[in-house]
Amino acid sequence: MWLIIAALGAIAPISPHILVIGQPAAIVHRALQGALLRLTAPGCQQVFDDFIGRNGLSLANTIASTGKSPSNLLGDLYFADGDETVQCRTDEGLAMFTALGSHVVHVCTKRFGRLAAKPDRAEMLVIHELLHTLGLGERPPTSAYITSVVTRRCLGSTIDLDR
């Protein structure tokens, strides 16, 4: 169980898989919950047929081989504070990143925090990073292209999220 340690001024993560604290943790949590809901829509799940992983298989086949749903795989990921990483310190356009096949998504909390007013965009980035954890590389395709496909598939085929 996560404790809140008020005497030290520290706030524990709101989920054991969200290793970010404070306001950024709430934004990550909201984006994660929205992405999980979006991934239940068949139209959004088509994004896994749109890309081939480094293993030469579609990401849909990669998911099928795990015996888990996309939502379960997303729920298995850890979202860690990446502010001290070289990537977050040097790339002003970066809000999140991961490595191929990793179960850890690093969050550049200051930049990701700016997405509080753009929850749809934050959710698209979470799904984008899920694709990388499943084996999708970049260059090619570009990061912008991946996000555009995710947005086309998942933003248009969503359950009403009261937005």
Convert the pLDDT of each residue in 130-149 to its tens digit.
999 999 999 889 999 999 99
- What one-character-per-residue DSSP string does 54-95 give? TTSSBHHHHHHHHTS-HHHHHHT-EEEE-TTSHHHHH-TT-S
Taking phi over 0 as left and psi of -120 to 50 as alpha, with beta for the rest, 112 belongs to alpha
Task: Give the pLDDT confidence score for residue 139 in this predicted structure.
Answer: 84
Question: Taking the model in full, what pTM does it have?
Answer: 0.87
- What one-character-per-residue DSSP string does 17-36 give? TEE--SHHHHHHHHHHHHHH
Helix (H, G, I), strand (E, B) or coil at 40: coil
